[in-house]
Structure 1
């Protein structure tokens, strides 16, 4: 966007135009506040341009590739994958990103949000200097939404070809024949799954003793089983000791949980060991702020996401846990902060009720507490696990998976955990169940369509409510 005149004072100054920043700006403008949004790259941030949207577009293409193999090998449909037209695939992905970007720009224009391209440096608790623009004062407050960047291991430098991060993996040239993925969290698992679908030989290394270590242990178990079944070499509890970058790839030395040392050679090393908040050049000290030990800007008031400096709020990846670093969580944070700045009373973000999804094959989707977390919190819990293969639609898909429900013995549902095909589209029901403190008997009264995968969710609750049909307690 271009500016017709420079704004020297505004109601709300938002620094960073990713999901947290632009959602704050849109909601604040919708509440009648004057908003200036500063972004040094493109509005939409990492999620739209380098992460969530392009990666899920590619993972959809991967599903189509996997479907051809399933058609041939399982259903007797004589189909073969001739080739992948990489430039055409990339063009479709980029078109999806571009249309989303134009949509966000259009929303901001319609809401009369003033967007400035540049970097902002705080000069006080209510002011900032914007590069190429000048000094701006914010009457209501400032929102920090500068996002994050991929963490890198010491001694490794991403070159965009042989060593890549999650930010540039999608834009590296061509399809590699082999990939070593370092990091078994959601991002690493998704990229391992994507490359395997596209025909690459994949090794997935995770330092923790299981993949997606923040999820329920049964989620990790079912996910690992599914990935191994697809031919991915999963090495959990392993550590990268050394990496040598070659002309045509990388050679890595990995220590296994048994103490053995193995060498893995791959055309590409994809580093997915987490993300670090971006605060360089932000001028936090001038506003009386500082980062914590991991570079986050912690709020003093989580109900308002307000820092120790009144009127300075934080959203998105700058926040430490319990914020989740997820785009949909930052949308909620943006709405909360905008409404707070407008003087409205609004409920705080319930991070326990925020769904978590890994878009691999198989997918995982969870909301609420894991079984271990529930027990550690002192809950007297009951657990029921329903295999997806126990319902007809699960048999049709033939990919295994499960529904796991964690509930208080005589009370509410604490967590729901899903693994299997399309479970990212099934988690919304469980989000409402957990968020509204429902009990298993409440859910059991509602009828699920037959045959569907979501029927397994209903069956799991029927059993917990003592009304088991196809599954007995």
Structure 2
């Protein structure tokens, strides 16, 4: 007796339903392609369910807590915080996530994308198998969008209680009284900021010589000053030597930048030392692919995000630098790949013009080159730094911060770097300035509303253009 297996056919198979995957699927379907999206958990991925969205919901709650303290201490509003109802906070967060999740599912359904749930494995260059759904043959292309998971240090095991990663930190039970955060990148800084707002004693340990080591040095300096002012114990140039986990928390041994050994006891250890691509079980070898030394799947053609195997493309956290591992960069990558598969000409993603934001208090937001990167690239640069407290609205907020502009001397703007309240909402203007190769004089001709924080951006460009008003060159 012989059996015949049926192979389903599609134009595009997307493996992974995070931001990069579902954006690819939506755009490809809108261009008339038949699309199957394979996801082994929930569409929306880490960003929607464990990262960007739930963490920013919690950080908004933290802003409200901070506002109560500011009202009392600075403005004479005699408000007090009785307590934080953790269950109510979690319920609001989960409702936001749930509504976003249903929205993504609805978009995919209306677009005609067929979503199949199960682990997908490549079986050839144009074939794959999805657990529970059988074999799939692909006419146009396969898109790998399987995302990443938190990196864990050797000797540590996340238990979801005393040792947590960024994926499960917000889902641990209750608010800890003390936290040791390991890692001073964007994720670690955000979690340190959140827990401090909620009243925890926070120690933040970063092995590099400054926080946010990939950002401009002045961004790191202002951020560190702001966090220390709020009571965060910031330890840079420091390393975790050992961590033990007794029943009541963790006990860590840390070597400081001065070479001293220090013991840190905390209720919780939050490990935020980066993320690693997820490729286990993907069957890369069957398609003639392999990962690089970072565990990424490198594209052979950056303009199409296509691998060395024609028709297999990569988006999101699987991509090595200069890709940024950011959700909004993944959206752009998904659009590019979908349009490429549809036979359209689509511009490559300009990563230099993709904004980078840390949603701590204070916030940071940047786009383009740092001052050091610009100088190392051989540019003769003109730099201007404008304190936010130099404009009236900055004084109203009273949180410090700055605008820093890095430009070619006599030429275009190379980078803009912001620190302070609400700068995540201010970076869009600078994204356009850098992306469109504007010069300071181009920006200086445009009038910014007064009084606003964005007025400081306008003033910084006025000064560089030789038209300084409240700030002289």
Question: When the two structures are superposed, what TM-score results if normalisation uses the length of structure 1?
Answer: 0.99
List aligned pairs for 1:386-405, cutoff 5 A. Answer: 386-405=386-405
SS at match of 1:210: coil
Residue 128 (1) aligns with residue 160 (2): no
Report the CA distance between 1:236 and its aligned residue: 0.4
The whole-number CA distance in structure 2 between the counterparts of 1:225 and 1:14 is 44
Q: Which residue of 2 aligns with 1:103?
A: 103
The whole-number CA distance in structure 2 between the counterparts of 1:151 and 1:99 is 29
List aligned pairs for 1:297-446, cutoff 5 A. Answer: 297-446=297-446
The whole-number CA distance in structure 2 between the counterparts of 1:312 and 1:150 is 25
Q: Which residue of 1 aligns with 2:218?
A: 218
Q: Which residue of 1 aligns with 2:34?
A: 34
Question: When the two structures are superposed, what TM-score results if normalisation uses the length of structure 2?
Answer: 0.99
Q: Which residue of 2 aligns with 1:159?
A: 159
Q: Which residue of 2 aligns with 1:3?
A: none
Report the CA distance between 1:54 and its aligned residue: 0.1
List aligned pairs for 1:73-222, cutoff 5 A. Answer: 73-222=73-222
Q: Which residue of 2 aligns with 1:470?
A: 470
Report the CA distance between 1:338 and its aligned residue: 0.1
* Cα distance per residue 1:390-427 (max 9 Å; x no partner): 00000000000000000000100000000000000000
SS at match of 2:104: helix
* Cα distance per residue 1:107-140 (max 9 Å; x no partner): 0000010000000000011110110110001100
Report the CA distance between 1:246 and its aligned residue: 1.0
**Count of residues paired in the alignment:** 468
SS at match of 1:66: helix
The whole-number CA distance in structure 1 between the counterparts of 2:254 and 2:191 is 19
The whole-number CA distance in structure 2 between the counterparts of 1:432 and 1:379 is 21
Report the CA distance between 1:277 and its aligned residue: 0.0
Q: Which residue of 1 aligns with 2:233?
A: 233
Q: Which runs of 4+ in 1 moved over 3 A?
A: none
The whole-number CA distance in structure 2 between the counterparts of 1:259 and 1:73 is 38
The whole-number CA distance in structure 2 between the counterparts of 1:231 and 1:123 is 54
Report the CA distance between 1:7 and its aligned residue: 7.2
Q: Which residue of 2 aligns with 1:249?
A: 249
The whole-number CA distance in structure 1 between the counterparts of 2:203 and 2:307 is 42
SS at match of 1:204: strand
Report the CA distance between 1:472 and its aligned residue: 0.4
Report the CA distance between 1:146 and its aligned residue: 0.1
SS at match of 1:104: helix
Report the CA distance between 1:37 and its aligned residue: 0.1
Q: Which runs of 5+ in 1 are unaligned?
A: 1-5
SS at match of 1:125: coil
The whole-number CA distance in structure 2 between the counterparts of 1:180 and 1:215 is 23
Report the CA distance between 1:294 and its aligned residue: 1.1
CA RMSD of aligned residues (A): 0.6
Residue 282 (1) aligns with residue 282 (2): yes
Change (3 A) 1:425 1:434: same
The whole-number CA distance in structure 1 between the counterparts of 2:357 and 2:319 is 19
The whole-number CA distance in structure 1 between the counterparts of 2:373 and 2:359 is 23
The whole-number CA distance in structure 1 between the counterparts of 2:400 and 2:127 is 55
